[in-house]
Amino acid sequence: MGDMVRVLVTGAGGFIGHHLVSFLRAQGYWVRGVDLKRPEFCASEANEFELLDLRKWQDCLRATAGIDEVYALAADMGGMGFISCNHAQILHNNSLINLHCIEAARQNHVNRYLYTSSACVYPEYRQTETNCAPLKEEDAYPAAPQDAYGWEKLVSERLCIHYRQDYGLETRIVRFHNIFGPLGTWQGGREKAPAALCRKIAAARLEGLKQIEIWGDGEQTRSFCYIDDCVVGLHKLMRSDYCEPLNLGQDRMVSINQLADMIANIAGVQVNRTHVPGPQGVRGRNSDNTRLKAVLRWEPQISLEEGLRRTYLWIAKQVMELASEYSFGVATFPLRTGNKEP
Ligand code: NAD
């Protein structure tokens, strides 16, 4: 191990955490991954992977022992369908994880601690129009996040700021705007819009059907950032001396309808959209990347089209494999509906 920097990635069995572990290993770090579960789709490249429950104090102490830097990604989370229906569970679990993790990091003399917050901290009143102004970091206040998920993220941001001020722990805070890519949840209820739409379109294509379901009118807008850009940005922020919250996302806003059309185009199919009732989150959201560019001298590089192409190919393969398990009993093939959107 020698002089290698020892890094802990919490949530290493999840989507971003798994990709981050691979990226950090390639950069030469020694990495411990911690999660309730192992990565679903391929083995972790972490030097050490421990199954721990970070809601528990003793598990947090064990996770952070002998560690120089923490990337804190563990959270009970999912797409809009999950976030809008599980407020108490999310607030309870994520509060425990973050309160215990940062205190354990302090007691174990960790040098740097990067917390992964979310665009969900931004107030609902700034996101009422589809064509809303991009969100600057200072727009988070006066605070009024839409869901318990966003409130908890905001409080944990404050926790990081105060741990730096009061205890000298070097904290970093990132606010992700819809990260997507291969090896992420694509079915089951916690998936987000890009994955859900890729799955529905791949399933419709396989079944020769021309219809997919969209929650609401599909005019709600978001920006989407590809996973490879996300992990590069995370590492750059950790290495920077910037300690205030920073957006990390793309600043190209598209509607859910446009996103569906882009994926259908990649899949080479034409699908009609059936609009059904369902949680949609805020009406519009985009990232203002002015500070990101100033602080990191960098911005996400991978286009939405290219990111969607890579994601669609991976999800279409998962759908094919699952369909073959159903022995192509397409009449009961369940993947085209059962949607979860952001
Ligand atoms: P994910 O759900 O794929 O990963 C989170 C991981 O945390 C999961 O593997 C889960 O098992 C683990 N976890 C949950 N409770 C735990 C516990 N008690 N102990 C140990 N591990 C536990 O989510 P993700 O998309 O990889 O998100 C990573 C982080 O980024 C999260 O904090 C999330 O809130 C934040 N974030 C993600 C996005 C996005 O677009 N993906 C957007 C905003 C913020």
Phi, psi angles (nearest 5°) of residue 322: -65, -40
Most ligand 1 atoms within 8 A of CB, residue of 10, 73, 91, 247 to mutate: 73
Question: How many whole angstroms from 38 Cα to the centroid of ligand 1?
Answer: 13
Whose Cα sits closest to atom 4 in ligand 1? 14
35 Cβ below 6 A of ligand 1: yes
> Which residues lie closer than 8 Å to 146 by C-beta, 6 or more apart?
120, 124, 127, 281, 282
* Predicted local distance difference test score (pLDDT) of residue 334: 55
Atom 3 (ligand 1): residue with closest C-alpha?
Answer: 14
* Predicted local confidence at residue 79, as pLDDT: 84
Same fold yes or no, 6-179+225-248 and 181-223+253-283+303-327 = no
* CATH code of the region 181-223+253-283+303-327: 3.90.25.10
Q: From the CA of 64, how far away is ligand 1's center (Å)? A: 18
pLDDT, mean of residues 218-237? 98
Atom of ligand 1 lying closest to residue 78 CA: 2
Query: What is the pLDDT at residue 339?
Result: 43
DSSP state of 109: T
Rounded to the nearest angstrom, the gap between the alpha carbon of residue 309 and the centroid of all alpha carbons in its chain is 18
What is the set of active-site residues? 149
Kindly tell me if the per-residue pLDDT of 241 is higher than 80. yes
193 ligand 1 Cβ < 6 A: no
**223 CB less than 6 Å from ligand 1?**
no
**Whether residue 15 has its Cβ less than 6 Å from ligand 1:** yes
Is 176 near ligand 1, meaning CB less than 6 Å away? yes
Q: Is 159 in the pocket of ligand 1 (CB under 6 A)?
A: no
Confidence bin at 336 (pLDDT 50/70/90): low
pLDDT reading at 140 higher than 60: yes
Rg (CA), the chain: 20
Pick the CATH number of 6-179+225-248 from 3.40.1160.10, 3.40.50.720, 3.40.50.150, 3.40.30.10: 3.40.50.720
* For the CA of 74, the nearest atom of ligand 1: 7
Element (H, E) at 197: helix 193-207
Q: Where are the domains of the chain?
A: 6-179+225-248, 181-223+253-283+303-327
- Mean residue pLDDT across the chain: 94
Pocket test for ligand 1, best of 57, 60, 77, 180 (most atoms within 8 A of CB): 77
- Determine whether the shortest distance from the Cβ of 76 to ligand 1 is under 6 A: yes
- Tell me, what's the pLDDT at 338? 46
Give nearest CA residue, ligand 1 atom 28. 73
CB 73 within 8 A of CB 10: yes
pTM here is 0.95
Residue 178: CB within 6 Å of ligand 1?
A: yes
Distance CA 309, CA 296 (A): 27
Q: pLDDT at residue 340 above 50? A: no
pLDDT at res. 342: 38
CB 235 within 8 A of CB 27: yes
The answer for residues whose C-beta is within 8 angstroms of residue 72's C-beta and 6 or more apart is 10, 11, 98, 101, 102, 113, 114, 115, 116
Residue 335, pLDDT score: 59
pLDDT of res. 224 = 98
Residues 272-331 pLDDT 10s? 999 999 888 899 999 999 999 999 999 999 999 999 999 999 999 999 999 888 765 544
Q: Which atom of ligand 1 is nearest to the CA of 225?
A: 40
The pLDDT of 187-203, averaged and rounded, is: 94
Distance 75 CA to ligand 1 centre (A): 4
Work out the average pLDDT over 227-252.
98
Closest CA to 122 of 110, 139, 109: 139
For residue 270 the two structure tokens come to: 């034409």
| Section 4-10 average pLDDT | 97
Pick from 170, 175, 294, 185: nearest CA to 225:
175
Residue 328 has what pLDDT? 52
Tens of pLDDT, residues 16-68: 999 999 999 999 999 999 999 999 999 999 999 999 999 999 999 999 999 99
